[in-house]
Structure 1
């Protein structure tokens, strides 16, 4: 869920912010995280991922950071991390999704029956 200063998050945008909530990561790690947490049902392709990252950077929700890895192959990778605004936007979106899941549960959509 966005506030007045933050555009609404797309599902891909929220997934990227969620992947970065644990710390800085490069694009491939973000793609793997999303695939793993969705049990393979969601796959962010490179085009979607990098367009999403560009938008998140433009909206000041994510910043590009330097790699701290000594691995020379890592020097070519771009790392990203959440800004304070990005963390706030992700938390608000998680709260909204939590409320939606509660309503879905009450409506019997999650395999539970609604109590009378």
Structure 2
């Protein structure tokens, strides 16, 4: 399954994937990580809506744990590949935009 079949990621979904890129996290830890990255903390509805969609797409999965109070998630191998592809696409877009600004 390619990115074109999955569609583009919403910003919250992309931020969840980035947050999970360095290992499993539960919701509060993802919120904190995203806040450090962006300066804005996603609300629970936004965060868990993105988590649900990413799980349905097979990009993240619940991480096995003995802690019943917290449910951490982790990237699947498909999620890691899709995140890599999306970040490379965004790098190209950002590079082009910055180059055009410099010549304007």
Match of 1:67 among 57, 65, 69: 65
1:32 aligns with 32
Aligned-residue offset at 1:50: 0.6
- Report how many residues are paired: 103
Q: State the TM-score, normalized to the length of structure 2.
A: 0.90
Residue 94 of structure 2 is aligned to residue 96 of structure 1: no
Report which of the two has the higher share of helix: 2
State how far apart, in whole Å, the 1-side matches of 2:31 and 2:15 are.
9
- Do 1:35 and 1:43's aligned partners in 2 also have CA atoms closer than 8 Å? yes
Residue 100 of structure 2 is aligned to residue 114 of structure 1: no
Q: Which runs of 5+ in 1 are unaligned?
A: 69-73
Q: State the TM-score, normalized to the length of structure 1.
A: 0.81
SS at match of 1:44: coil
Aligned-residue offset at 1:9: 1.1
Two-structure CA RMSD over aligned residues (Å): 1.8
State how far apart, in whole Å, the 1-side matches of 2:100 and 2:7 are.
29
